Amino acid sequence: MVSDNTWHVLVEEESKNSWGEDNHRWGLAGRHPARDEEHARALAAELAGSHVPSLLRSRRPYRRLVHRLAGDVWLAVLESASGTLHVRVSVAQLVAVHDHEPSRRGVLGRLTGPE
């Protein structure tokens, strides 16, 4: 059973694929545990102002605009001469954990091993 005070800060980074600038997607870049909800909020605000996305490899100067969205979500916009990147930081409460056993059935539902 998951404790109802299991708080985390989730950091998502925007990534661009090589097929063009119009193809963007988000990926989880980090999950940071927090002591409680208050600590998670403080940590999220700190990470929104400091997390550097993996795509920002340049040592050139950049500008960071941090927006607080509805609730406990921040969006950081990082602008540099080479383009703009986004980082989304959210406070999250872990509410369930499920362990799954691998199925012995293949994609078509046939048994792949002994019963």
pLDDT in single tens digits along all 115 residues of the chain: 555 559 999 999 987 655 555 666 889 999 999 999 999 999 999 999 999 887 776 677 889 999 999 889 999 999 988 788 899 999 999 998 888 787 766 656 665 555 5
And the tokens for 82?
């080479």
Amino acid type, 115: E
Q: Could you tell me the pTM of the whole model?
A: 0.77
C-beta atoms surrounding 35 within 10 Å: 11
**pLDDT given for residue 93 in this prediction:** 95
First-last CA distance in the chain: 31
- Domain-wise residue ranges, the chain: 7-93
Q: In which residue are the tokens 């002591």 written?
A: 35
Q: In angstroms, what CA-CA distances link 104 with 99, 101, 111?
A: 16, 9, 6
